[in-house]
Amino acid sequence: MSETTEFIAGVSEDVNITEKAIKEIKKLMGENTVPEGYGLRVGVKGGGCSGLTYTLGFDPEERAGDTVIEKDGVKIFIDMKSSMYLNGTEIDYTDGLTGKGFVFNNPNAVKTCGCGSSFGV
């Protein structure tokens, strides 16, 4: 395993995950029978109408260089490259009238698309 930094409170210099988001991650893990010990990998990749898009997926373990955030029994893995784009971001979950899904409140995004799933820096 690589050297990682663990943030018990679910808040790091890089990312804050809200209680509502953690609750939804746990729900999704249960519904999709994600094996014990897996975590949610949060990342950024090229694409989308604004240049970059957020990625989410379950991963069995951390990778070299990952930041690991552990909150309320849920592990979040963020690779080093994505950390640069996610610095200061809050990950929340909404289930309001305008739709359901994870919301990235990213202070680094200088432009976003109408759907909210891509951004530019």
- Residue pLDDT, tens place only, 36-67: 999 999 999 887 666 788 899 999 999 999 99
Q: How far apart are CA 24 and CA 30, in angstroms?
A: 10
What the chain holds in terms of domains, given with CATH numbers, is 6-120 (2.60.300.12)
Q: Which amino acid does the sequence have at 19?
A: E
Question: b/e for 1-29, b at 16 or more Cβ within 10 A?
Answer: eeebeebeebebebbbbbeebbebbeeeb
Q: What is the pTM of this model?
A: 0.78
Q: What is the mean pLDDT of the chain?
A: 82
- Residue pLDDT, tens place only, 93-121: 998 887 789 989 988 876 565 555 544 55
Collect all residues with Cβ–Cβ distance below 8 Å to 17 and sequence separation of at least 6: 10, 11, 69, 71, 74, 76, 90, 91
β-pair partners for 90: 16, 105
